[in-house]
Structures are given as structure tokens and as C-alpha cells.
């Protein structure tokens, strides 16, 4: 799995370079082209790079595979911005318009085929039968294109205005909030991210115990050791650094001292760690000398759970705030007239509440 993450990460590097190049290429001025502004390509390249770096760091330092996978998935948001800038655009003239989708698929329409439009705060949709074309309002020439569609539609239909779709099918706010679908999408995305975060911590702290299958076995002779605050640091005769971490050193120091003084080789199961700004070392997960067990997998896993298990509190607290925010937004959005305006402003920016609905 980690090899797939590395390979896919390298495939994204040319996309980042392309995004930077596209930012510096000034497009030809064309009043009849609707496209995203150039800064979207640069923003996508920056976002993708920002998360690709920790992706590679985690992938090459033997971190749990879920961690680089999570960073890789987040970096794809930057790729979406770059691809959207390159592909998503509309060209139009007096006879009709051609909409190029995110995947580069072109669709040609005449103004007479248009059936309706729907306008939200951040984007609008042009409906052509069962199909629809989305136009983000930050796109260049987006306002001029909508005016052209309305004008040409009116010409094709004897002066009649183009029908406007007012209410969303996914309106959980009973028509009191503009762009209700956008709120629903944000709820879902944040909920999925929170569940993924909770799942990662749960997996890392509790569900991925160390054993012979996910550790490296070796025969090691130790020449010296040091006692730290919550660890024992050991030096091998071949100049490698080993550590038993997250323990009470007093419990294990006597056994370690006997092992070092005897010069006997120990069977060690360990995981290599590459700390930021420090020397590489092997984190010991199990160690025995002959028939004497010095440090077991059970003890290692228990120490790991005690060290990282408390992190599970973080997504629980975040989940509580998330539920409060979602429930509060829905309750206030469905009944804005029942709450004071300062309470409404806790959940909605100015302009989102339609006070004239009731």
C-alpha cells in the first residue's frame, strides 16, 4: 500500500508543475470565454505541495500507512483546482455556447434549448433539459455570460423571460436560508473528515498492535545504555541506536544492565524511526536474551496505548463541537424569526438568511 502512495504522489508532481506554469502564462483576452481566474492554478499548486511534502516524509519514514494516505487524499484538493482552471470553461457567441467540463468533455448548446436557470450566492446553474451547466461567480465573464443567456433566451421565446428555479430540492431550512445545498455539502465533508480523523487515531493507538509481522527482527549486541526520563537508550556494538520508549526505566534497568555487562546478544524486534531534527534510531518493541524475556510485545503495545490513547479525546471534543454547530445551524436556520439576530449571526453571515420568506 505504501508503494502505491509513493507512486501516486510522484504522479502528482507534474500536475503541480503544470499549475505553476499555467499561472505564469497569461491567457489571451477574450470577452466570450468564461473561466476561473489564474490564481486558482497557483492556489492549487501551493495546496498540493503543502500536503505532498508530509505525504513523502511519512511514506519514507515507515509511519502507519494511513497517515501518508490521508495527506495524499487532502493534496488531491489542489489537483482539483488546477484541473478545474485548465478544463472548466465556457465559450459563447450569438448562436449558443460550448461548456467544457472538469474532465475536458465538451457539450454544445443553443440558447433555444435552455429551460431554466438557478442563481445562488456563489454560483449559478444553466439548465438544458435534464442537463445543467454550473458557473462559479468568481469566474471571469460569468456575469456577462448570464446576461447573454437571458437575452438570447428571450429572443428565442418571443420576449418571455427565462424561468428561474427558486427553491432547492435539498432544503433543510424550509426556504429561510440561501444556498441550503452548500450547507449540506459542508456538513457532509466536515463529518467525513472528522470520522476519518477519529478512525486514524483509533487505528494508530489501539487497532494496530506491534508483533513479529510488522517489526524487523535482528540479533544485537549492546555495548552501553543510558536512562532517560521515560526511555532507555541503548548503543549497539555496530554503532546503531536503540530505544525502549514510553516506559518506567526503573522497571527494566536491572535487566538491561545485566544484558550489557554479559555481552550476550539479544533477539530484538524493532521499528526504525527517523525523527525530525534528530538521529535515526530503532524503537524496540520486543527483546529477549536466550530464554529471558526482557521486554515483550504486550508491554510495548500497552505503553503505546498509554502514550497515544489520550489523543482520542481530541476528535471526541471536535465531534461535540461539530454536532453543536450542525444542530444549531439547522435549528436557527429553520426558525430564524424565533432567535435574536446576534444568535443568528453566530451561525450565518449577513445575507444568508431570507427574512422575507415567512
Choice between 133 and 205, residue whose per-residue pLDDT is larger: 133
Q: Is residue 60 part of a domain?
A: yes
State whether 11 and 143 are in the same domain. yes
R_g over Cα of the chain: 30
State whether 194 and 79 are in the same domain. no
- What are the start-end ranges of the H helices in the chain? 2-24, 39-59, 66-87, 142-156, 180-202, 249-262, 297-308, 313-334, 341-347
Grid cell of 146 as nine digits: 448570464
> Would you place residue 204 in the very low, low, confident or very high pLDDT band (cuts 50, 70, 90)?
confident
Say whether pLDDT at 302 is over 80.
Answer: yes
State whether 180 and 84 are in the same domain. no
Task: Compute the distance between CA of residue 329 and CA of residue 347 in angstroms, rounded to an integer.
Answer: 6
State whether 151 and 189 are in the same domain. no
Q: Note down the domain range covering 316.
A: 168-358
State whether 131 and 201 are in the same domain. no
Task: Compute the distance between CA of residue 55 and CA of residue 68 in angstroms, rounded to an integer.
Answer: 4
> Would you place residue 122 in the very low, low, confident or very high pLDDT band (cuts 50, 70, 90)?
confident
State if pTM tops 0.85: no
State whether 181 and 71 are in the same domain. no
In which element (H, E) is residue 241 found? Answer: strand 241-245
Q: Are strands 216-220 and 131-136 parallel, antiparallel or unpaired?
A: unpaired
State whether 53 and 191 are in the same domain. no
Say whether pLDDT at 218 is over 90.
Answer: yes
State whether 184 and 302 are in the same domain. yes
Q: How many domains does the chain have?
A: 2
Q: Are strands 231-236 and 266-273 parallel, antiparallel or unpaired?
A: unpaired
Amino acid at each position: 500500500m505504501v508503494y502505491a502512495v509513493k507512486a501516486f504522489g510522484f504522479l502528482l508532481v507534474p500536475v503541480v508543475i503544470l499549475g505553476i506554469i499555467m499561472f505564469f502564462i497569461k491567457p489571451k483576452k477574450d470577452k466570450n470565454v468564461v473561466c476561473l481566474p489564474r490564481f486558482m492554478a497557483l492556489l492549487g499548486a501551493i495546496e498540493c505541495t503543502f500536503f505532498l511534502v508530509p505525504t513523502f516524509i511519512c511514506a519514507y519514514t515507515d509511519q502507519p500507512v494511513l497517515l501518508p494516505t490521508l495527506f495524499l487524499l487532502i493534496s488531491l484538493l489542489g489537483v482539483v483546482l488546477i484541473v478545474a482552471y485548465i478544463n472548466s470553461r465556457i465559450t459563447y457567441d450569438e448562436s449558443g455556447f460550448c461548456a467544457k467540463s472538469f474532465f475536458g468533455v465538451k457539450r454544445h448548446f443553443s440558447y433555444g434549448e435552455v429551460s431554466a436557470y438557478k442563481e445562488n450566492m456563489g454560483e449559478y446553474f444553466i439548465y438544458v433539459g435534464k442537463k445543467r451547466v454550473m458557473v462559479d461567480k468568481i469566474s471571469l465573464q460569468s456575469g456577462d455570460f448570464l446576461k447573454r443567456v437571458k437575452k438570447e433566451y428571450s429572443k428565442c421565446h418571443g420576449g418571455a423571460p427565462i424561468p428561474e428555479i427558486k427553491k432547492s430540492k435539498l432544503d433543510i431550512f424550509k426556504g429561510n436560508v440561501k444556498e441550503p445545498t452548500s450547507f449540506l455539502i459542508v456538513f457532509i465533508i466536515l463529518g467525513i473528515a472528522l470520522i476519518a480523523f477519529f478512525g486514524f487515531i483509533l487505528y494508530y493507538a489501539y487497532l494496530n498492535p506491534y508483533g513479529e509481522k510488522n517489526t524487523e527482527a535482528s540479533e544485537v549486541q549492546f555495548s552501553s545504555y543510558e536512562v532517560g526520563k521515560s526511555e532507555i537508550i541503548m548503543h549497539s556494538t555496530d554503532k546503531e541506536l536503540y530505544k525502549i520508549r514510553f516506559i518506567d526505566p526503573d522497571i527494566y534497568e536491572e535487566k538491561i544492565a545485566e544484558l550489557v555487562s554479559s555481552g550476550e546478544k539479544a533477539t530484538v524486534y524493532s521499528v526504525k524511526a527517523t525523527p525530525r531534527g534528530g538521529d535515526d534510531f530503532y524503537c524496540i518493541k520486543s527483546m529477549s536474551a536466550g530464554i529471558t524475556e526482557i521486554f515483550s510485545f504486550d508491554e510495548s503495545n500497552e505503553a503505546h496505548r498509554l502514550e497515544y490513547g489520550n489523543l482520542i479525546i481530541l476528535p471526541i471534543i471536535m465531534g461535540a463541537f461539530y454536532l453543536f454547530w450542525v444542530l444549531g445551524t439547522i435549528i436557527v436556520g429553520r426558525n430564524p424569526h424565533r432567535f435574536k439576530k446576534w444568535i443568528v449571526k453566530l451561525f450565518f453571515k449577513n445575507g444568508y438568511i431570507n427574512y422575507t420568506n415567512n
